[in-house]
């Protein structure tokens, strides 16, 4: 019981008072991040729409894999930092190559995906 009370006292002693200016600054920064996220997403839309309309992947297979993995790792990193704009941005960025991969597999199948490019000639 004494340990619990000691811990509670330390938590209260280390707690910082609420600072509305700092809170407003964080909200403004997050809004800037969300605006950037929206602009990047709008930039991706034409490519995704073209891929869906033409049913042709617009990315090379190595790029699809590296883009997906890189975006996934960045989303995890952003989650650890608790940065909502970057969590959303990188999660969406990981979806972009999946759309291309879907149409690649639909057209070529898995055999061509796993075959090194130089052996396809």
Spell out the domain ranges in the chain.
20-120
The whole-model pTM stands at: 0.60
pLDDT per position as a tens digit, 109-118: 877 766 665 5
Q: Is 20-120 a CATH 1.20.1280.290 domain?
A: yes
Structure-token pair, residue 34:
């969300």
What band does 76 get if pLDDT is binned at 50, 70 and 90? very high
Q: What is the C-alpha separation between 57 and 46, in angstroms, rounded?
A: 13
Burial of residue 34 (number of CB atoms within 10 Å: 0-12, 13-18, 19+): middle
In this prediction, residues 33-43 reach a mean pLDDT of: 84
Angle subtended at Cα 32 by Cα 26 and Cα 36, rounded to the nearest 5 degrees: 140
């Amino acid at each position: 019981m004494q340990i619990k009370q000691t811990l509670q006292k330390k938590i209260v002693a280390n707690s910082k008072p609420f600072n509305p200016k700092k809170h407003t600054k964080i909200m403004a920064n997050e809004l800037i991040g969300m605006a950037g996220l929206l602009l990047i997403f709008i930039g991706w839309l034409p490519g995704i729409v073209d891929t869906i309309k033409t049913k042709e992947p617009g990315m090379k297979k190595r790029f699809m894999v590296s883009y997906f993995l890189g975006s996934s790792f960045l989303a995890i990193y952003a989650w650890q930092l608790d940065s909502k704009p970057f969590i959303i941005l990188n999660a969406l960025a990981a979806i972009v190559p999946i759309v291309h991969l879907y149409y690649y597999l639909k057209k070529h199948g898995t055999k061509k995906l796993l075959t090194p490019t130089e052996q396809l000639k």
